[in-house]
Amino acid sequence: MRNVLDIGCGAGNNSIRLLTEIGLDVDCDLCDLSEPMLIRAQERVAAETTGIIRTFQGDIRYLPLSEKSYDVILAAAVLHHLRNDEDWEATFSKIFSLLRPGGSLWITDLISHEHRGVDQLMWSRYAGYLIEQGGRRYQQEVFDYIDKEDSPRPVTY
């Protein structure tokens, strides 16, 4: 593995985790909408690899990144921000075009479930967690935000 792309890298947690696990020096491209996040991620990831680190500020949907360049693409807690089927399909096509043959995409994210009972159970667990963190009003605000802004999909999607 030589090249990693971290989409919606935030403060770089997932690149750091990957580098820690594999114990290899790889080149990391970090992409995020937020410049302060990228600055923080660059500092933190630089402490874990002697590979080249590049930052790309912008929306993954429109950033001009090189095709067939990455062995691993990480996307943690970011793809659920996509809007609709068209957006998901265009973004997946783009991500696929960025991978080297044999490369892989590793997603960790907020998801929905095709089975209604499982979906209800998981959302009620998430609600419980949010209530514990910030109370009922906070939980409702988060759920309203998800309804308005996000589009979580089932794993099989």
Ligand X SMILES: C[S@@+](CC[C@H](N)C(=O)[O-])C[C@H]1O[C@@H](n2cnc3c(N)ncnc32)[C@H](O)[C@@H]1O
Q: Pick the closer one to ligand X by CB: 84 or 101.
A: 84
Nearest approach in angstroms of CB 116 to ligand X is 26
Question: What are the residues binding ligand X (CB under 6 A)?
Answer: 7-10, 13-14, 31-34, 37, 59-61, 76-78, 81
Q: Pick the closer one to ligand X by CB: 32 or 48.
A: 32
3-state secondary structure the chain: CCEEEEECCCCCHHHHHHHHHHCCCCEEEEEECCHHHHHHHHHHHHCCCCCCEEEEECCCCCCCCCCCCEEEEEEECCHHHCCCHHHHHHHHHHHHHHEEEEEEEEEECCCCCCCHHHHHHHHHHHHHHHHHHHHHHHHHHHHHHHHHHCCCCCCCC
Q: Pick the closer one to ligand X by CB: 59 or 114.
A: 59
Nearest approach in angstroms of CB 63 to ligand X is 8
Nearest approach in angstroms of CB 67 to ligand X is 18
Q: Pick the closer one to ligand X by CB: 76 or 99.
A: 76
Nearest approach in angstroms of CB 146 to ligand X is 12
